[in-house]
Structure 1
Amino acid sequence: MELRIFTEPQQGATYDDLLAVARCAEEAGYGAFFRSDHYLKMGAVSGDPGPTDAWTTLAGLARDTRRIRLGTLMTAATFRLPGPLAITVAQVDQMSGGRVELGIGTGWYAEEHTAYGIPFPSLGERFDRLEEQLAVVTGLWATPPGATFDFAGTYYPVSASPALPKPVQDPRPPILLGGMGPKRTPRLAARYADEFNLPFASVEDSAAQFDRVRAACAETGRDPGELRWSNALVLCCGRDDAEVARRAAAIGREPDELRENGLAGTPAEVVDKIGRYAEIGSERLYLQVLDLADLDHLELVAAEVQPQL
């Protein structure tokens, strides 16, 4: 089981805050630093000093870190056109020396779209657009040097594209898809994903959705063993109950609720729950860290949980 760090900067963080977490995660031996792609806070927090752009952040981290992998959970397909997105991700992959991963989804948070003038079509259209985005991004990356790429899309037609630049990673940066949609999500994952991720889902719900994706793979003739399987859970670990309670209070949550719905408790409790996800085939856990100033939290899990996995 690989542990990765997952942050939510729209809740209030500067680039320097994120850099400190990414460097701490790198030195502590975590597999990756991921961030959300949102332009508006959620809940009662202030969100100060305001949002930061996901791919601008990752471009900076590409130069300010050395080893840790970098990615998004999840880039909203509504935010970016697929051609420029393919260019951006390829460029950040080059800047990082081949350490970038693209998590992408339909986009879901209507209020951030209205707050910043971003169109927000119906869910069905957002899925249609996501499917075309995946076709364009992967098609551009897969086009041989010297050839051109064409795509007869409804929303994103492409003609005679030179399909440049190319990412460093071969055949491409890993693509992450996820979510609990029962039909289109598994089909898109079976066709395009290198990793399938479920955020904030129980062991039971994760197992059921993993099975749907495996069934979709079987329908398309793809070996489900080609996919990596992962979950994302909010982290609240402490050396004792008092420290767990302090960390839960810092993010406005209750310890018992976090033990039920997140990854919370003492290191022994956390290891036990990770084991339950491992039993259903999960291979990676993205630890959602909400208090970005508490770097001791990351160091505790690295020292007392990670060696037991």
Structure 2
Amino acid sequence: MIRFGVVLITEGCSRNEWMDKCRRAEALGYDVVAVPDHLNLLAPFPCAVLAAEATTRPRIGTYVLNSSFYLPALLARDVATTAQLLGDRLELGLGTGYVKAEFERAGIPFGTASSRADRLESLVKELDAALGESAPPLMIGGHGDRILRLAAQRAQTVSFTGAPYRAEYGRTALVDADALAERVAFVRAEAGGRAPELNLLPKATVITRERRAGLESLRRYAPDLTAEQLMEVPTLLVGTPAQLAEQVQRDSERYGFAYFTVTEAAMEDFGKVIERLR
């Protein structure tokens, strides 16, 4: 069975507004309500606890914590406490962080992709030692070899963004369907005998009857892909709810994705897709 998650944005939320959003996500059928980790937003752990208080069925995730922001012993305490308060509903998502301005604001060296991967690897190792059997399920997201290897070998869920950083654009850009398939094959090879859950984070969801035009409107996310490649890329969901339900099923079968996560902006529209898949 495919799982569906939504990352809710907490900027400027009151208690009641946040709880209402969480309840709406549950009503739409989402299996996971996730909180992000950015300095312009509310802190993730209090929001996670309140999300659990507002709902009964969904699991509560972090999507994803910036590993450079945390000292391992202190993060282990926060994770253990939150997991205990949530009654084992917590799913812990970790990543390397990618917004340089946030590192500068926090007074933390941004470093290189390699140094950020070092921090994540070290954090995962130290959390394992500190939490032991009480550790919640771990998700690690990324695109490059090092992070996906770590995820394949240590995490219960591997999240694919399908969008590496591209220096020529000064930002991330989506890869085509074949490149994403190669990344999935890499994870499976690195996982050995393990079989981690595979998660996909689509970049955009657009409900429209004009699929080709809708995809062209999103070309900024994949400037070097052809129109035909845009039609096939799993990280853009464009079409009618029925077409998107077919795409989710197709991509689940082709790549093995068992868990799809959308951002809050797509929550209502993707809820129409969930309705057709349940």
Say whether residues 1:177 and 2:140 are aligned partners.
yes
| TM-score (ref. length: structure 2) | 0.79
For the structure 1 residues 205 and 6, does the alpha-carbon distance in structure 2 shift closer, same or farther, using more than 3 Å as the test? farther
For the structure 1 residues 115 and 239, does the alpha-carbon distance in structure 2 shift closer, same or farther, using more than 3 Å as the test? same
1:101 pairs, out of 91, 104, 107, with: 91
Deviations 1:43-63 (A, max 9, x none): xxxxxxxx2111221122222
For the structure 1 residues 301 and 92, does the alpha-carbon distance in structure 2 shift closer, same or farther, using more than 3 Å as the test? same
For the structure 1 residues 80 and 264, does the alpha-carbon distance in structure 2 shift closer, same or farther, using more than 3 Å as the test? same
For the structure 1 residues 190 and 241, does the alpha-carbon distance in structure 2 shift closer, same or farther, using more than 3 Å as the test? closer
Task: Name 1:146's counterpart in structure 2.
Answer: none
1:229 pairs, out of 175, 198, 205, with: 198
For the structure 1 residues 255 and 185, does the alpha-carbon distance in structure 2 shift closer, same or farther, using more than 3 Å as the test? closer
Question: 1:224 deviation in Å?
Answer: 3.3
Say whether residues 1:110 and 2:100 are aligned partners.
yes
Deviations 1:53-80 (A, max 9, x none): 1122112222222221011221101111
Deviations 1:198-229 (A, max 9, x none): 125553332211111122223xxxx132x101
Task: Name 1:215's counterpart in structure 2.
Answer: 189
Q: Which runs of 5+ in 2 are unaligned?
A: 164-175, 222-229
Task: Name 1:263's counterpart in structure 2.
Answer: 237
| TM-score (ref. length: structure 1) | 0.72
Deviations 1:244-277 (A, max 9, x none): 97xx9xxxx9367787552122112201221232
Q: Which runs of 5+ in 1 are unaligned?
A: 41-50, 144-166
Q: Distance in 1 between matches of 2:238 and 2:264?
A: 12
1:54 pairs, out of 38, 44, 51, with: 44
Task: Name 1:32's counterpart in structure 2.
Answer: 32
Question: 1:189 deviation in Å?
Answer: 1.6
Question: 1:104 deviation in Å?
Answer: 0.4
- What are the residue-to-residue correspondences of 1:160-309 with 2, within 5 Å? 167=134, 172-182=135-145, 184-200=146-162, 202-218=176-192, 223-225=193-195, 227-238=196-207, 254=217, 260=231, 261-278=235-252, 279-290=254-265, 296-297=268-269, 299-303=271-275, 305-307=276-278
- What are the residue-to-residue correspondences of 1:57-76 with 2, within 5 Å? 57-76=47-66
Q: Alignment identity in percent?
A: 25
RMSD of equivalent CA atoms: 2.8
1:14·1:52 contact (CA, 8 Å) conserved in 2? Answer: no
Question: 1:13 deviation in Å?
Answer: 4.8
- The one-letter code sitting in structure 2 at the alignment partner of 1:280 is Y
The SS at the match of 1:208 is helix
Q: Distance in 2 between matches of 1:216 and 1:302?
A: 31
